[in-house]
Amino acid sequence: SQQGEEDPQALSIQEGENATMNCSYKTSINNLQWYRQNSGRGLVHLILIRSNEREKHSGRLRVTLDTSKKSSSLLITASRAADTASYFCATENTNAGKSTFGDGTTLTVKP
């Protein structure tokens, strides 16, 4: 089974609204990374947050990490139609340094 699991599987919102996606994982991690994927394309890196960090910002993106709950959230504020994509979290395992991905959240932003 995958290390990271995103929730919800699908999210549909109106332009201008905020979108929140969650990621849960099972084992100890070095870091957690969030990615965006447009249909049929490669993954684009958004943010890396290390296990000793609690929150990071990048433009309209805000990522939080709660290692006690083994969970992370990605918040996209003031969403745009161009934010329509699938979003994945990837966790790097402390044991082997291997990164595993969840199944992603499909975000649809309606204009």
Partner 1 sequence: KAGVTQTPRYLIKTRGQQVTLSCSPISGHRSVSWYQQTPGQGLQFLFEYFSETQRNKGNFPGRFSGRQFSNSRSEMNVSTLELGDSALYLCASRAGTGNTIYFGEGSWLTVV
Tokens at 23, concatenated: 């990621």
Report the candidate in 17, 11, 9, 31 with the shortest Cα–Cα distance to residue 80. 17
Tell me the closest approach of the beta carbon of residue 22 to partner 1, in angstroms: 15
Tell me the closest approach of the beta carbon of residue 97 to partner 1, in angstroms: 4
Task: Read off φ and ψ for residue 92, nearest 5 degrees.
Answer: -95, 120
Question: For partner 1, what does the binding mask look like between residues 78 and 97, x meaning CB under 8 A?
Answer: ----------x-x-x---xx
Tell me the closest approach of the beta carbon of residue 14 to partner 1, in angstroms: 26
Which 1-30 residues touch partner 1, going by CB under 8 A?
A: 2, 30
Q: Using CA atoms, how far apart are residues 29 and 22, in angstroms rounded to an integer? A: 16
